[in-house]
Amino acid sequence: MLPEADWQRWLPLLEWVDMPLGQVLYESGRTLSHVYFPTSAIVSLLYVMENGASAEIAVVGNEGVVGISLFMGGESTPSRAVVQSAGKGVRMSAQKIKDEFNRAGPVMHLLLRYTQALITQMAQTAVCNRHHTLDQQLCRWLLLSLDRLQGSELTMTQELIANMLGVRREGVTEAALKLQRIGLIRYARGHIHVLDRAGLERRTCECYAVVKKEYDRLLPDRTAT
């Protein structure tokens, strides 16, 4: 989505990195050293309580950037960023992304539009976790993850899903089995294969559509590449 001149300036500033499952890109309260642009990985942004309990507030994939606090001026954040689906990405140093943002122009406006879309996802996730059923939340989570992957299969343990959604593992097991019984997914040995995406969209709450509509509105050209 960057104009060609900006993209050519960015190319030497980017470093390809592997993003293995479970890798922590940054911890709560720590100053960030890089921003990350996942290409085939998915990263979860989690809030962690003092007792160790956690809940996901957003997912970031090939549509976005991990580490917005750097160019927003905060340097750190109370959330934790963890790779939820292994893959690759590129990263840029903290100082370089600040320099790029401070140029203003297309780069700044694109990063700000993405930040607004991310805030929408965070707000909708909070509402969803408060008002909707676990299987609706699971459908929303699966759909958001699929939008950020190529293909229809996710590698994800029930324990990790439970940590993301902030619920007991038994609840995830029950919800996943329910979706499997009605033919929407197939789940085995940490692999979730979506069989009926349209069925998931019918079963989920309105939260998925709200988030998707805002991303499409703010970042309309992201699917063109």
How far apart CA 46 and CA 58 sit, in angstroms, is: 7
Q: Is residue 152 located within the same domain as residue 170?
A: yes
Q: Is residue 76 located within the same domain as residue 171?
A: no
- pLDDT tens digits along 175-194: 888 888 999 989 877 788 89
pTM above 0.85, yes or no: yes
User: What CATH number does residue 157 fall under?
Assistant: 1.10.10.10
Residue after which a domain boundary falls, among 102, 129, 156: 129
How far apart CA 40 and CA 28 sit, in angstroms, is: 24
Q: Which domain holds residue 178?
A: 132-213
How far apart CA 108 and CA 114 sit, in angstroms, is: 10
Residue after which a domain boundary falls, among 129, 153, 181: 129
Amino acid at site 141: W
Counting the structural domains of the chain, the total is 2
- pLDDT tens digits along 67-97: 999 998 888 888 899 998 889 999 999 999 9
Say which residue the tokens 């980017």 belong to. 14
How far apart CA 22 and CA 98 sit, in angstroms, is: 27
Residue after which a domain boundary falls, among 129, 159, 181: 129
Q: Is residue 42 located within the same domain as residue 114?
A: yes
Residues β-bridged to residue 91: 15, 36
Q: Is residue 117 located within the same domain as residue 184?
A: no
Residue 220 lies in a domain: no
